[in-house]
A and B are shown apart, each in its own frame.
Chain A
Amino acid sequence: MRRTEQTRRLVSKAAGIAVLLGGGLLAATLCFGAPANPPPVPSIFKPESTPADWVFHLSAFVLAVTGTIFAVVFTLLVYSITKYRQRSGDDGREPAPVYGSNQMELSWTVIPILIVLVLFLATARVLHSVQDAPEPATAVEVTVIGHQFWWEYRYPALGVVTANELHVPVSDPAHPTPTFLKLLSADTDHSFWVPQLAGKTDLIPNRVNMMWIDPHRVGLFAGQCAQYCGTQHAKMLLRVSVDSPEDFDAWIRAQKQPANQDERELAGKRVFETTACINCHAIAGTAATGQFGPDLTHLMSRQTIASGAAENTSGNLRLWVQNPDAIKPGSLMPAMKLSDADLDALVRYLETLR
């Protein structure tokens, strides 16, 4: 009884040291060169959602076990290469040959097998809990469609279509409102990875994948596409805005409205509808019903454009329409080559899409 107590204390101590060391290293790197207004750090060790939290606890356990193995073997190695080095003034006699030892071999076979079993069981438990979690009736369903190189979000039950900035409600553990994501791809493989919310899951063409998140805290969470998907894989960023229930409802209500039909910006609207814009972009309530690019109905409700590559300012909008390669070289948005007058009108029109 006392021995198990002692072992437990030892294990927890080792785990503590491992976590402390890892944490110290992390803290050091975080302080090192942090800008004045730091964007969120997508660290896997700062979970804010149940699946990420389960994986974090598993990772602490795996780190403790592997850390212990490392300490033991490292010590053995250092000891043997220092103790058995050839000393100066060696008599030149060959050391006694040892051809092997069955007991030793057996011990360093059986002990690793036991460690493997323990790690396997711990992993299988987390895998089952994360992947086979039942979907509660209160869950929000979102269909995520990966495109080269942006994200499409559809809320089929709520009648909302948006792009690049995902809004989900915060989930109170007492009354959970998790978000279940159905992952599809329109072209190549992508991977949805917001480290603080969950491990990554790929979006694969001709395949339906599922994942879920239940963020415990209101805020903005960053991530990005993790599966190489083509030229602009790097600037396919993910932003997940976790809203309070009231904010989320308000956001949904706003997104369900048709596009603002501001009569003063008819010139810009005409440019949009008479050029190639409508081949790819949709604006609800207008003639624009394109499907290849992001839905622009509520463009100005988003903080960024080009899948997080630039802030949503009128200067950037102008640049993006005229020369997308300046922001995101290799993106599939064509340079529109509009006259200055048309461009001004178009940007003014886009800015009415609140």
Chain B
Amino acid sequence: MSSDAMAIPSAETAGQPWVQALHEWVTTVDHKRLGILYIVYALIFLVIGGVEAAIIRIQLMRPNNDFVSPQVFNRMFTMHGTTMIFFVAIPVLFGFANYLIPLMIGARDMAFPRLNAFSFWLTALGGLLLYFSFIGGSGLYGAGNAPDVGWWAYAPLTARAFSPGHSSDYWTIAVLVAGFGTVGASINIISTVLCMRCPGMTLGRMPLLAWLNLVMSGMVLIAVTPLSAAQIMLLVDRYLGGHFFDTQAGGSATLWMHFFWIFGHPEVYILILPCFAFMSEIIPVFSRKPIFGYPVMVGASVCIAFVSMSVWAHHMFTVGMSAYVNSFFTITTLAVGVPTGIKIFNWIGTIWGGKIQFKVPMLFCIGFLFQFLIAGLTGVMLGSAAFASQLSLSYFVVAHFHYVIVGGILFALFAAFYYWYPKMIGRMLSESLGKIHFWLFLIGFHMTFDLMHIPGLLGMPRRIYTYEPRPGWGPLNLLVSIGAFIQAIAVLVFVWNLILSYFKGPEAGNDPWDAWTLEWSMSSPPPVYNFASIPTVASRRPLWDLKHPEDPDSLYE
């Protein structure tokens, strides 16, 4: 079942001119190269979004600061949010999915390689369009450049009366185009997982990573399409005289909120499910035990997908819905906590009785577990509509969702980087730089986002470019900003590690972690066609069976 069986010539030949190399990367339809393109693209935007965050935090370091004008500040938080969600989180997760799914299910590529390339380039175009607004956004009216309507772009701020020029158009079209890319990539993942599995790999033996990406892709089809529809409606409003969201002409502001959040809340789970997948692959390997309760983990994921489709209006607890509607969205929101809790307990069950190796990927996984626990509990507070009437729209909610996205998703991604980089590049990332990265980031993260909850409790709303010197607000915001800079240094250490290890890292070999899924059976990086001969599997841990023929999993599952 291994790649040693036959030497397949690699597409890369030594010493080719850079034009040819570039041409190969631009025209590639190989899922591994596209995966790396997605990841590199997302990392570039991560740095850009990080710079925007730094500008926000410098401005908020002290009361009545005037580092940037309100107009610039509003553009920064709009671009930061839009960039991080649409052009960092989604592409990087699709990058890993693209790279790993065919390797893990024993396939030679995704089901639709050309659609795969098309989806990536659409997403890439979306990001470029968004950032072109800095140059082209002032348009005919000279009003503003980058969009400044917030990443939810609530109506009627996006109406032409309140947003002249073209900045909102760049936002709309960028998100629309990237949305088509996301839908294309999801169709590809669903088809690949359902149709391309190797012999013996029943749905019940599929790695959890493939399962969770299947569920995530299904959610994308349901959640992203209403967002795309709403973007088109907004364009109709702005250019063809429609009145869907144009409140000056009788349109509905809440209609946009419903459209946005029926995308926006499932989106959170679209982002977190692949991270659950990383956890479910990495924690077992470094605990040296199979995942605890595989069928329940699958069931809980499917359950999260369904329930999370009916929670969106908890983002709208303050817009004046009736007590009954608020109660409905309270119980659905709290209900998502049940399958999510099951997952946390199952990961503890996986660790329990194991022999934990504290390698860098595992450190990030453990950070994830603690932080996701806290993020979930502040989510319960925000899910209680009455409590949320105080908490939502404040810095408490900003702290909460950054706890999910940074403390959860980003920690999981760092774990995934340290775990799969050796497979993608063929060299190990430095463990010592990795540990520096982990501890610096952990300290910075907690300094920033633990403290950020408190100004919210003290009445500080989000999205304000400056604030009065109220007791507590100034010192807390200063500490929050200092924490942000510690995180920035940690990310630089990480990027340095990625670059340094590319040239100087020790050779990884096929299976540096003594792992159990199929991608570790082949060389690092894998050959273009992945599997010289398609493997046959008999259990959820095919490499365990191979390494322990006397006691294979297939006897017990």
Instruction: Give A contacts to B, CB under 8 Å.
Output: 25-26, 29-30, 32-35, 38-39, 41-45, 52, 54-55, 58-59, 62-63, 66, 69-70, 73-74, 76-77, 80-81, 84-87, 90, 94-101, 104-105, 108-109, 112-113, 116, 119-120, 122-124, 126-128, 130-132, 183, 187-189, 191, 193, 195, 198-202, 204-207, 209-210, 222-235, 237, 329-330
Contacts and interface: CB of A to CB of B under 8 A. Distances in A.
Interface in B27-44: none
Interface string B386-422: 1111111110000000000000000000000000000
Given A41-B471, A54-B386, A227-B393, A100 B293 contact: yes
A342 B294 CA distance: 80
A41 B474 CA distance: 13
Nearest to B373: A73
B355 A84 contact: yes
Contacts of A204: 253-254, 319-320
A201 B354 CA distance: 50
B358 interface: yes
B237 interface: no
Contacts of A41: 458-459, 470-472
Interface stretch (B284-292, B437-445, B493-501, B502-510): B284-292
B459 A42 contact: yes
A74 B369 CA distance: 9
Interface string B492-535: 00000000000000000000000000000000000000000000
B162 interface: yes
A188 B390 contact: no
Rank and list the top 7 A-B pairs by shortest CB-CB distance, nearest first.
A199-B389, A42-B459, A234-B464, A209-B320, A100-B293, A205-B247, A126-B386
B380 A119 contact: yes
A202 B353 contact: no
Given A35-B471, A206-B250, A127 B356 contact: no
B327 A29 contact: no
A29 B395 CA distance: 15
A105 B342 contact: yes
8 contacts: A29-B458, A77-B348, A94-B355, A98-B290, A127-B330, A131-B323, A225-B461, A229-B157
A22 B475 CA distance: 18
Contact of A223 (B296, B337, B351, B459): B459
Given A80-B352, A229-B157, 15 more contacts: A26-B457, A59-B390, A63-B381, A84-B355, A98-B349, A99-B290, A112-B337, A119-B380, A126-B386, A188-B156, A200-B318, A206-B250, A226-B394, A227-B154, A230-B162
Contacts of A54: 386
Contacts of A66: 377-378, 380-381
B229 interface: no
B489 interface: no
A307 B296 CA distance: 55
A123 B327 contact: yes
- Among B250, B341, B354, B384, residue most surrounded by chain A Cβ atoms (within 10 Å): B384
Contacts of A101: 292-293, 349
B150 A55 contact: no
Contacts of B287: 84, 95
B385 interface: yes
A199 B349 CA distance: 40
A214 B384 CA distance: 23
A156 B369 CA distance: 55
Nearest to A111: B341
A198 B390 CA distance: 8
A245 B318 CA distance: 30
A319 to B, nearest CB: 15
Contacts of B296: 100, 105
Contacts of A109: 338, 342
B381 A29 contact: no
B70 A329 contact: yes
A39 B69 contact: no
B253 A189 contact: yes
Contacts of A201: 318, 320, 389
Contacts of A200: 318, 389-390, 392-393
Interface string B466-489: 111111101110000000000000
Contacts of A84: 287, 351-356
A112 B371 CA distance: 19
Contacts of A188: 154, 156-157, 162
A45 B470 CA distance: 16
Nearest to A100: B293
Contacts of B71: 231, 329-330
B557 interface: yes
Nearest to A56: B390
Contact of B319 (A105, A202, A229): A202
Interface in B226-282: 247-248, 250-254
B25 interface: no
B1 interface: no
Contacts of A222: 459, 470
A234 B72 CA distance: 13
A128 to B, nearest CB: 5
A77 B366 CA distance: 9
Given A25-B454, A205-B253, A195 B326 contact: no
B555 to A, nearest CB: 11
B463 A228 contact: yes
B345 A108 contact: yes
A120, A232, A235 pick with most chain B CB within 10 angstroms: A120
Contacts of B323: 124, 127-128, 130-132
A123 B458 contact: no
B459 A116 contact: no
B472 A33 contact: yes
B341 A127 contact: no
Nearest to B336: A116
A193 B461 contact: yes
B384 A206 contact: no
B386 A127 contact: yes
B545 interface: no
Nearest to B152: A228
Nearest to A125: B386
A118 to B, nearest CB: 10
Residue of A74, A226, A228 with most chain B CB atoms under a 10 A cut-off: A228
B386 A130 contact: yes
A207 B355 contact: no
B449 interface: no
B252 A123 contact: no
A234 B466 contact: yes
A32 B474 CA distance: 9
Q: Determine which residue in A32, A90, A183 has the highest number of CB atoms from chain B within 10 A of its CB, and name it.
A: A32
B188 interface: no
A86 B355 contact: yes
B352 to A, nearest CB: 5
Contacts of A96: 289, 353
A193 B459 contact: yes
Contacts of B331: 116, 120
B459 A195 contact: yes
B370 A77 contact: yes
A108 B348 CA distance: 12
B319 to A, nearest CB: 5
Nearest to B339: A109
Contact of B330 (A63, A123, A189, A227): A123
A72 B395 CA distance: 27
A47 B320 CA distance: 21
B191 interface: no
